[in-house]
């Protein structure tokens, strides 16, 4: 029996005192975009708040009333949770913030909501990949909500970025909006995360994760394949499982019938 | 008053030869007639004083200067052999948190006024000590052994050099030089070591020198002399002298120690027979 690994972007809700105010803010979001929380993995983040279990119960009930189903709770020991509560959920790595979608007529208000950050809505990558953070490097980080991404790609096509330098070990390029092109090599220990395809004019020795926002049609291209890990739409393969014949040669990787297909480029 | 070029010697990984390289390059530059200061940034684990044979003359150290407890002139230790070579030792009793960014900046700025070259010996790792050592550098020498973990750590350091240094923050790009140390000709032949070309290819930094693994390095550090001063004709000393001339801008091809060593091998064979 084999297990597949798949990563999802979860929305992280961090309840803030007073809870009544926080719920009101949540209601405002639901009112504006009723589908925002539907079919999304949702993590409740109580890290650092030392929340009493009664308050947690209150928050979970409140979310339940709003049909927000929490898949896990981050930042609380599993032994403190009561029966019937979602499981404790460790690990994970923060990604960019999710903007709350807004009807076109209320753009002004949208900025306001994003600015006061209340309630905090952040994307979190589950499960965590590497400990590299984009903040201590010259990595580029842009993020938009998935809804917005879909809207945008439908309207005007994806945005793309070009990195005209080597991506060094420990650096992370995160661009959930579209394609990433690297003119240079991606070193062992570096990673490229793209909503669209990844193009590398150089050696790929690190990790490349394409189509992270659920795009099967994303591909990975490189002029020298020596990757540690490649992934398209959450489906990944590590170097050990690669077909050895393409090692160190130009290659493309695409997603087909729930598998990753490796092909030489000539 | 001169305005020094500040060079950081860094690698990420420990034990690759940063301190040996710092001492060798600093003394080679001094032999060329430049006013040179070597700074040991490895607060808490200082070694450069030992390698340069100055450990018995250390009074004040970098931390004292950074904290204003001593002046730079009080803390500088002059080399026994070369009177234009100085050492600013690290403190052995403090840790790297004793260094402040402003303090280090002030020290470097003052040293720039006194010397032609300031060589900073970075501690291993990517934490405070290492980032402070590279922060105000004008150029960097990346020291790598021909093996994968060392190369990856160097790659990480290069990323930091291009992100966290003063030059990078001002939108510039720090010139970098790659020094491959502990190059073992026998192992290179049998293929259980990364080839020089592979290291250069992975790191994409111009090669400044290849220093062979040699007993001369150990011998030199035991007598407290930089390898470029202890035995000028030893293969590592020659490699460091050449690297220094390249650092000064001379355009001479890098010699991979293979041929040289084989010549030495012949000599030894002759002696043993």
Q: What is the pLDDT of residue A137?
A: 37
> Which of A138, A166, A188 lies closest to B152 in CB terms?
A188
* Residue A132 forms part of a structural domain: no
Mutant choice from B11, B125, B156, B158 vs A, greatest count of A C-beta within 10 A: B156
Q: Which of residues 9-68 of A touch B (CB under 8 A)?
A: none
- Residue A151 shares a structural domain with residue A109: no
Q: Which domain holds residue A249?
A: 146-264
- Residue A18 shares a structural domain with residue A118: yes
Write out A112-164 in H/E/C secondary structure.
HHHHHCCCEEEEEEECCCCCCCCCCCCCCECCCCHHHHHHHHHHHCCEEEEEC
Q: What is the CATH number of the domain that holds A112?
A: 3.30.70
Mutant choice from A169, A172, A223 vs B, greatest count of B C-beta within 10 A: A169
Q: What is the CATH number of the domain that holds A233?
A: 2.160.20.70
Q: What is the DSSP letter of B179?
A: E
Is the pLDDT at A6 greater than 60? The verdict is: yes
d(CA A199, CA B266) in angstroms, rounded, equals 51
Q: What is the pLDDT of residue A102?
A: 52
- Residue A98 shares a structural domain with residue A201: no
- Residue A111 shares a structural domain with residue A155: no
Q: What is the pLDDT of residue A48?
A: 78
> Is residue B52 within 8 Å of B84, Cβ to Cβ?
no
Residue A56 pLDDT class (50, 70, 90 cuts) = confident
Is the Cβ of A248 closer than 8 Å to some Cβ of chain B? no
> Which of A138, A169, A189 lies closest to B162 in CB terms?
A138
d(CA B4, CA A38) in angstroms, rounded, equals 63
- Residue A181 shares a structural domain with residue A223: yes
- Residue A113 shares a structural domain with residue A151: no
d(CA A110, CA A112) in angstroms, rounded, equals 5
φ, ψ dihedrals at A94, nearest 5°: -65, 135
Structure tokens of B37? 């200061």
| Total domains in the fold of chain A | 2
Distance from CA of B155 to the nearest CA of A (A): 5
Query: Stretch A183-190: mean pLDDT, rounded?
Result: 93
| Total domains in the fold of chain B | 1
Q: What is the pLDDT of residue A96?
A: 64
Q: What are B128-186's pLDDT values in tens digits?
A: 999 999 999 999 999 999 999 999 999 999 999 999 999 999 999 999 999 999 998 78
* Residue A182 forms part of a structural domain: yes
Q: Which domain holds residue B105?
A: 5-272
Q: Which of B157, B117, B123 is nearest to B46 (CA)?
A: B123
* Residue A170 forms part of a structural domain: yes
Q: Which of A43, A42, A50 is nearest to A77 (CA)?
A: A50
Q: What is the pLDDT of residue B157?
A: 95
d(CA A207, CA B52) in angstroms, rounded, equals 43
Q: What is the pLDDT of residue A130?
A: 35
Please provide the average confidence, as pLDDT, over all residues in chain A: 76
Q: State whether B204 and A138 contact (CB < 8 Å).
A: no
Distance from CA of B120 to the nearest CA of A (A): 22
* Residue A136 forms part of a structural domain: no
More confident residue, A141 or B107: B107
Is the Cβ of B168 closer than 8 Å to some Cβ of chain A? yes
- Residue A121 shares a structural domain with residue A150: no
> Longest Cα pair distance anywhere in chain A, in angstroms?
63
Q: What angle (nearest 5°) sits at the alpha carbon of residue A230, between those of residues A167 and B191?
A: 70
Q: What is the CATH number of the domain that holds B256?
A: 3.40.50.300
More confident residue, B241 or B262: B241
Write out B78-128 in H/E/C secondary structure.
ECCCCCCEEEECCCCCCCHHHCCHHHHHHHHHHHHHHCCEEEEECCCCCCH
Q: What is the pLDDT of residue A31?
A: 78
Q: What are A138-157's pLDDT values in tens digits?
A: 333 333 333 443 343 434 44
Q: Which of residues 68-87 of A touch B (CB under 8 A)?
A: none
- Residue A191 shares a structural domain with residue A239: yes
Q: State whether A189 and B163 contact (CB < 8 Å).
A: no
* Residue A217 forms part of a structural domain: yes
> Is residue A7 within 8 Å of A127, Cβ to Cβ?
yes
Q: Which of B205, B84, B197, B194 is nearest to B140 (CA)?
A: B205
Please provide the average confidence, as pLDDT, over all residues in chain B: 89
Is the pLDDT at A109 greater than 80? The verdict is: no
Q: What is the pLDDT of residue B95?
A: 79
Give SS3 for B18: helix
Chain B residues close to A205, C-beta within 8 Å: 202
Is the pLDDT at A194 greater than 50? The verdict is: yes
* Residue A230 forms part of a structural domain: yes
Q: What is the pLDDT of residue A90?
A: 74
> Is residue B202 within 8 Å of A205, Cβ to Cβ?
yes
Q: Which of A164, A165, A161 is nearest to A177 (CA)?
A: A161
Q: What is the pLDDT of residue A133?
A: 35
ipTM of the complex: 0.72
d(CA B198, CA B180) in angstroms, rounded, equals 11
> Could you tell me which residues come within 8 angstroms of residue A177 by beta carbon, excluding any fewer than 6 positions away?
A142, A143, A144, A149, A152, A158, A159, A195, A196
* Residue A139 forms part of a structural domain: no
> Which of B148, B159, B201 lies closest to A137 in CB terms?
B159
Closest chain A residue to B131, measured at CA = A136
Q: State whether B155 and A169 contact (CB < 8 Å).
A: yes
Is the Cβ of A133 closer than 8 Å to some Cβ of chain B? no
Residue B256 pLDDT class (50, 70, 90 cuts) = confident
B176 sits in which H/E element: strand B176-183
Q: Which of B135, B143, B128 is nearest to B107 (CA)?
A: B135
Chain B residues close to A189, C-beta within 8 Å: 152, 155-156
Tokens 């003359």, located at residue: B57
> Which of A170, A185, A189 lies closest to B204 in CB terms?
A185
Is the pLDDT at A119 greater than 60? The verdict is: no
**Phi-psi category of B81—alpha, beta or left, where left has phi over 0 and alpha has psi -120 to 50?**
alpha
* Residue A209 forms part of a structural domain: yes
Q: State whether B156 and A184 contact (CB < 8 Å).
A: no
**In the sheet that A220-225 helps form, which strands lie side by side, from edge to edge?**
A159-163, A178-183, A198-204, A220-225, A251-256, A259-264
| Alpha-carbon dihedral B239, B244, B245, B250, rounded to 10 degrees | 110
Residue A123 pLDDT class (50, 70, 90 cuts) = very low
Is the Cβ of B200 closer than 8 Å to some Cβ of chain A? no
More confident residue, A133 or B26: B26
Residue B122 pLDDT class (50, 70, 90 cuts) = very high
More confident residue, B184 or A125: B184
Structure tokens of B210? 């290849």
Q: What is the pLDDT of residue A107?
A: 37
Distance from CA of A114 to the nearest CA of B (A): 29
> Is residue B96 within 8 Å of B128, Cβ to Cβ?
yes
Is the Cβ of B204 closer than 8 Å to some Cβ of chain A? yes
- Residue A121 shares a structural domain with residue A23: yes
Helices and strands counted in chain B (H then E) = 14, 8
Closest chain A residue to B171, measured at CA = A138
> Which of A166, A189, A203 lies closest to B152 in CB terms?
A189
- Residue A101 shares a structural domain with residue A161: no
- Residue A110 shares a structural domain with residue A150: no
Q: State whether A169 and B204 contact (CB < 8 Å).
A: no
> How many whole angstroms from its chain centre is CA B204?
19
Q: What is the pLDDT of residue A32?
A: 73
Q: What are B196-225's pLDDT values in tens digits?
A: 999 999 999 999 999 999 999 989 988 889
- Residue A150 shares a structural domain with residue A64: no
> Is residue A85 within 8 Å of A61, Cβ to Cβ?
no
């Amino acid at each position: 029996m084999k297990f597949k690994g798949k990563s999802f972007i979860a929305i992280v809700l961090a309840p803030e005192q007073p809870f009544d105010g926080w719920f009101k803010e949540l209601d405002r979001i639901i009112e504006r975009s009723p589908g925002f929380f539907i079919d999304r993995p949702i993590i409740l983040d109580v890290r650092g708040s030392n929340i009493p279990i009664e308050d947690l119960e209150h928050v979970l009930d409140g979310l339940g009333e709003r049909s927000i189903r929490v898949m896990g709770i981050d930042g609380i020991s599993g032994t403190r949770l009561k029966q019937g509560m979602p499981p404790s959920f460790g690990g994970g790595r923060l990604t960019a913030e999710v903007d709350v979608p807004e009807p076109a007529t209320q753009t002004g208000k949208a900025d306001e909501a994003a600015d006061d950050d209340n309630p905090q809505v952040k994307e979190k990558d589950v499960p965590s990949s590497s400990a590299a953070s984009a903040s201590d490097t010259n990595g580029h980080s842009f993020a938009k909500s998935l809804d917005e991404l879909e809207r945008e790609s439908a309207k005007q096509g994806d945005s793309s970025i070009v990195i005209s330098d080597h991506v060094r070990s420990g650096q992370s390029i995160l661009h959930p909006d579209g394609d990433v092109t690297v003119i240079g090599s991606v070193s062992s220990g570096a990673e490229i995360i793209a909503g669209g395809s990844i193009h590398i004019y150089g050696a790929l020795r690190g990790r490349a994760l394409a189509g992270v926002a659920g795009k099967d049609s994303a591909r990975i291209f490189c002029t020298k394949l020596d990757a540690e890990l490649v992934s398209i739409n959450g489906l990944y393969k590590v170097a050990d499982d690669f077909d050895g014949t393409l090692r160190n040669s130009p290659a493309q990787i695409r997603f087909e019938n729930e598998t990753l297909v490796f092909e030489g480029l000539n | 008053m001169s305005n020094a070029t500040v060079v950081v010697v860094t690698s990420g990984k420990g034990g690759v030869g940063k301190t040996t390289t710092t001492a060798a390059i600093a003394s080679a530059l001094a032999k060329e007639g430049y006013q040179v200061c070597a700074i040991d940034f490895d607060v808490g684990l200082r070694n450069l004083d030992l390698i340069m044979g100055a450990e018995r003359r250390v009074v004040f150290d970098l931390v004292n200067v950074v904290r204003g407890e001593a002046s730079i002139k009080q803390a500088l230790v002059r080399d026994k052999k070369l009177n234009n070579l100085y050492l600013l030792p690290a403190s052995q009793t403090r840790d790297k948190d004793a260094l402040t960014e402003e303090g280090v900046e002030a020290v470097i700025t003052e040293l720039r006024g006194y010397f032609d070259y300031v060589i900073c010996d970075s501690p291993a790792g990517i934490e405070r000590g290492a980032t402070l050592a590279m922060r105000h550098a004008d150029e960097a020498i990346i020291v790598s052994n021909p093996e994968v973990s060392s190369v990856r750590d160097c790659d990480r350091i290069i990323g930091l050099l291009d992100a966290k240094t003063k030059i990078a923050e001002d939108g510039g790009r720090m010139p970098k030089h790659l020094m491959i140390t502990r190059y073992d000709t026998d192992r290179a032949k049998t293929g259980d070591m990364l080839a020089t070309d592979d290291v250069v290819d992975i790191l994409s930094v111009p090669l400044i020198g290849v220093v062979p693994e040699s007993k001369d390095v150990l011998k030199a550090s035991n007598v407290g002399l930089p390898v470029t001063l202890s035995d000028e004709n030893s293969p590592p000393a020659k490699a460091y002298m050449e690297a220094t001339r390249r650092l000064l801008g001379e355009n001479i091809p890098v010699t991979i120690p293979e041929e040289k060593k084989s010549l030495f091998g012949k000599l030894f064979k002759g002696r043993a027979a």
